[in-house]
């Protein structure tokens, strides 16, 4: 009887931000040379034949003769990308008896793309794939060395970093206790040089690492700290911004062109507390699956800040495409989505934000997939208050009629405006304020104080929720029917707010917004109970349209 030549290696595919385990089997039979991959692979998977062939030869192994069939299971799942190259090459080496796996049978998941020289290249979504393996009980993984920091972000995972097909084969051939030493040694060998250098065909290639997200997020953060300190004479707007951050209140900034709305919004990342580990892991998974993490990046700690141009399409905003790609509202998850020139966005784009604003997720259905992305962000919009932009300026230069002002703001859809808890009104600096705004010594101190106040406020909200036995949630996200109990508002204050709303002609929604914002103001002042002065301040942040 003919002896069976067979190899099997586990790998992991990416579906949105979820990893799905893939079994790669290789069977080698006698016959004319033939190499086929079956199991719903895309172009990159079919092309992997050529890469794997070259990588095996160039790593000093023999490519087996005969009929070689590789099968990727489960067959129903569409397999995309180049992440299975390394697993396929190893399965071929096992089937052709050039690689013998160590005697212990602990499963190892293998991910990585191969270059023609047998070098292992980094991949998107490594942290997602590692997370899926751990949840299925597979703790050991062979990952591209450049993705090691990301993979190590999943606790209880045991990633072995590799830079070449030979290194991966060496790790598989060893027992568990020897694997760690092998992997460490390989990493050390390569860490001596700054970039990985290979010489082939007398050409000299230098791989420099791609732009690091970790470095970029530090830059955004420091920039934001300085921005905050550079804003002089806009104390009321800064207060509004701090309230927005402190209670996670979606907000709208209105003011004439050049009054500093964008500068103000860019301060927000400095005010928000760093992410908890769970949040950081989720955000890193999203960015990694979109290929937005750099080599050697670890978990992202700072909150994202996305500021799309007003020409952004609906698809760019909520995600989708032929292969699922996260939209801006998913990339802004746990961070800020800043929409400048809000009135210029297409109405269907703004409407598409309704579901994420209500549910914190985006569900996308296409003919070939159905996916649910997390999309829980702090929405900050900025717009001119009227067509000419001067409506709020005290010098009365605005010539817009009240109909035209109404029409202007109606470009922002009602449901979106309803979700914005506070309106921050801004005017241009007065002439006597201008010298102050440029000559002041920049210090990050005020920003750090504000940041600490926001962090304390978050802590207070958290503790209050836990005392009431509910899942911790920010004031801005508490639903209307829960606020009286959770916020411990006295009957007297409820009545006071109702009377004030009646006087100001506010809707029921406006009444609830005022109570929520007042809770945040009280939290910022460390007051147990909401007082009249808190309500009075909260009412100042209502949209001016409802004041007329
Ligand atoms: Zn105007």
Q: Is there a single domain that holds both residue 68 and residue 181?
A: yes
If one counts the domains in the chain, the total is 2
Distance 398 CA to ligand 1 centre (A): 4
Distance 414 CA to ligand 1 centre (A): 21
Q: Which parts of 192-319 fold into alpha helices (H)?
A: 213-230, 235-247, 261-265, 268-271, 277-289, 314-318
> Which pLDDT score is estimated for 434?
61
Is there a domain that residue 519 lies in? no
Q: pTM for this structure? A: 0.84
Distance 393 CA to ligand 1 centre (A): 9
Distance 394 CA to ligand 1 centre (A): 12
Q: What token pair was written down for 527?
A: 């007051």
Distance 428 CA to ligand 1 centre (A): 14
Domain end marker among 207, 234, 262: 207
Q: Please name every residue paired with 9 in a beta bridge, in sequence order, or none if there are none.
A: 24
Q: What is the CATH number of the domain that holds 82?
A: 3.30.230.10
> Which pLDDT score is estimated for 411?
83
The beta-strand segments (E) located in 149-261 are: 158-162, 196-200, 203-207, 251-255
Distance 410 CA to ligand 1 centre (A): 15
Scan for tokens 């590799």, then name that residue. Answer: 162
Distance 112 CA to ligand 1 centre (A): 58
| HSE-up of residue 512 (Cα within 13 Å, Cβ side) | 16
Distance 251 CA to ligand 1 centre (A): 21
Residues with beta carbon < 5 A to ion ligand 1? 386, 388, 391, 398, 400
Distance 386 CA to ligand 1 centre (A): 5
Distance 337 CA to ligand 1 centre (A): 27
3-state helix, strand, coil in the chain (%, to 5): 45, 20, 35
Mean pLDDT by 10 residues, the chain (548 residues): 82 88 91 82 76 92 90 81 89 90 81 92 90 89 90 84 90 74 62 37 34 71 76 82 94 88 86 90 90 81 90 89 86 94 91 90 83 92 89 81 86 83 85 60 77 93 91 87 85 91 87 92 91 91 62
Q: Is there a single domain that holds both residue 185 and residue 122?
A: yes
Q: Is there a single domain that holds both residue 252 and residue 160?
A: no
Q: Is there a single domain that holds both residue 164 and residue 270?
A: no
Distance 211 CA to ligand 1 centre (A): 43
Q: What is the CATH number of the domain that holds 259?
A: 3.40.50.300
> Which pLDDT score is estimated for 91?
93
Distance 465 CA to ligand 1 centre (A): 44
Distance 312 CA to ligand 1 centre (A): 26
> Which pLDDT score is estimated for 196?
38
Q: Ramachandran region of residue 405, left (φ > 0), alpha (ψ -120 to 50) or beta? A: alpha
> Which pLDDT score is estimated for 107?
85
From the list 115, 131, 119, 116, the residue with the least C-alpha distance to 12 is 131
> Which pLDDT score is estimated for 465?
92
Distance 409 CA to ligand 1 centre (A): 12
Is there a domain that residue 452 lies in? no
Distance 132 CA to ligand 1 centre (A): 55
Distance 2 CA to ligand 1 centre (A): 87
Per the structure, the complete domain to which residue 106 belongs is given by 5-207
Q: Is there a single domain that holds both residue 241 and residue 202?
A: no
The DSSP 8-state label assigned to residue 487 in this structure reads T
Domain end marker among 425, 440, 455: 440
Q: Is there a single domain that holds both residue 223 and residue 184?
A: no
Distance 192 CA to ligand 1 centre (A): 63
Is there a domain that residue 522 lies in? no
Distance 378 CA to ligand 1 centre (A): 28
Distance 402 CA to ligand 1 centre (A): 9
Q: Is there a single domain that holds both residue 257 and residue 360?
A: yes
Distance 289 CA to ligand 1 centre (A): 45
| HSE-up of residue 351 (Cα within 13 Å, Cβ side) | 5
Is there a domain that residue 238 lies in? yes
Q: Is there a single domain that holds both residue 237 and residue 181?
A: no
Domain end marker among 168, 183, 207: 207
Distance 395 CA to ligand 1 centre (A): 12
Distance 63 CA to ligand 1 centre (A): 74
Distance 336 CA to ligand 1 centre (A): 29
> Is the dihedral angle over the CA atoms 217, 218, 220, 224 positive or is it negative?
positive
> Which pLDDT score is estimated for 208?
34
Host H or E run for residue 176: helix 176-191
Q: Is there a single domain that holds both residue 166 and residue 274?
A: no
Distance 339 CA to ligand 1 centre (A): 21
Is there a domain that residue 141 lies in? yes
Contacts of 407 (CB under 8 A, 6+ apart): none
> Which pLDDT score is estimated for 190?
53
Contact 113, 123 (CB under 8 A): yes
Distance 385 CA to ligand 1 centre (A): 7
The Cα–Cα gap between 332 and 324 comes to: 17
Contacts of 360 (CB under 8 A, 6+ apart): 374, 375, 376
Distance 253 CA to ligand 1 centre (A): 16
Distance 242 CA to ligand 1 centre (A): 28
Contacts of 343 (CB under 8 A, 6+ apart): 383, 384, 408, 409, 411, 412
Q: Is there a single domain that holds both residue 199 and residue 231?
A: no
The Cα–Cα gap between 304 and 324 comes to: 20
Q: Is there a single domain that holds both residue 43 and residue 128?
A: yes
Is there a domain that residue 476 lies in? no
Mode of pairing for the β-strands spanning 251-255 and 203-207: unpaired
Contact 109, 8 (CB under 8 A): no
Q: Is there a single domain that holds both residue 131 and residue 203?
A: yes
Distance 480 CA to ligand 1 centre (A): 34
Mapped onto helix, strand or coil, the DSSP state of residue 90 is: helix
Is there a domain that residue 418 lies in? yes
Distance 274 CA to ligand 1 centre (A): 40
């Amino acid at each position: 009887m003919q002896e069976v030549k067979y190899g099997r290696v586990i790998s992991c595919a990416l579906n949105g931000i979820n990893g799905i385990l893939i079994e790669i089997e290789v069977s080698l039979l006698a016959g004319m040379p033939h190499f086929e991959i079956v199991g719903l692979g895309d172009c990159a998977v079919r092309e992997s034949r050529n890469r794997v062939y070259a990588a095996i030869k160039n790593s000093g192994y023999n490519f087996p003769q005969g009929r070689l069939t590789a099968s990727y299971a489960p067959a129903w799942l569409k397999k995309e990308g180049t992440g299975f190259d390394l697993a396929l090459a190893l399965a071929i080496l096992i089937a052709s008896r050039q690689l013998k796996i160590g005697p212990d049978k602990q499963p190892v998941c293998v991910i990585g793309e191969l270059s023609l020289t047998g070098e292992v290249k980094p991949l998107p979504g490594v942290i997602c794939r590692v997370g899926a393996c751990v949840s299925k009980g597979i703790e050991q993984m062979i990952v591209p060395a450049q993705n090691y920091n990301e993979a190590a972000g999943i606790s209880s995972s045991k990633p072995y970093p590799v830079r070449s097909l030979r290194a991966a084969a060496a790790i598989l051939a060893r027992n568990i206790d020897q694997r760690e030493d092998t992997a460490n040694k390989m990493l050390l060998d390569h860490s001596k040089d700054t970039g990985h250098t290979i010489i082939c065909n007398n050409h000299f290639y230098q791989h420099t690492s791609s732009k690091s997200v970790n470095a970029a997020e530090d830059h955004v953060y420091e920039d934001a700290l300085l921005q905050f300190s550079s804003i002089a004479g806009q104390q009321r707007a800064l207060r509004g911004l701090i309230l927005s951050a402190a209670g996670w209140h979606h907000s709208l900034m209105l003011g004439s062109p050049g009054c500093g709305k964008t500068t103000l919004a860019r301060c927000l990342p400095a005010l928000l507390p760093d992410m908890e580990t769970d949040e950081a892991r989720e955000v890193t998974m999203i960015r990694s699956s979109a290929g937005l993490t750099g080599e050697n990046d670890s978990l992202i700690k700072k909150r994202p800040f996305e500021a799309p141009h007003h020409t952004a399409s609906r698809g760019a905003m909520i995600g989708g495409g032929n292969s699922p790609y996260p939209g801006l509202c998913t990339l802004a998850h746990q961070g800020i989505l800043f929409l400048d020139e809000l009135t210029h966005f297409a109405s269907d784009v703004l409407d598409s934000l309704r579901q994420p604003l209500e549910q914190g997720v985006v569900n996308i259905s296409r003919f070939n997939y159905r996916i649910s992305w997390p999309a829980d962000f702090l929405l900050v919009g900025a717009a001119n208050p009227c067509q000419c932009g001067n409506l709020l300026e005290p010098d009365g230069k605005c010539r817009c009629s009240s109909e035209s002002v109404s029409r202007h703001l109606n470009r922002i859809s009602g449901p979106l405006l309803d979700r914005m808890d506070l309106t921050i009104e801004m005017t241009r600096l007065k002439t006597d304020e201008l010298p102050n705004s440029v000559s002041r010594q920049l210090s990050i101190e005020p920003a750090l104080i504000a940041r600490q106040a926001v962090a304390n406020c978050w802590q207070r909200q958290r503790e209050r929720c836990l005392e009431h036995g509910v899942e911790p949630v920010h004031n801005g996200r508490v639903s209307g029917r829960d606020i009286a109990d959770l916020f411990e508002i006295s009957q007297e204050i409820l009545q006071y707010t109702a009377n004030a709303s009646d006087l100001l002609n506010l809707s029921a929604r406006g009444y609830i917004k005022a109570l929520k914002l007042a809770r945040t103001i009280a939290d910022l002042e460390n007051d147990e109970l909401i007082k009249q002065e808190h309500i009075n301040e909260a009412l100042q942040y209502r949209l001016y349209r409802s004041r007329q």
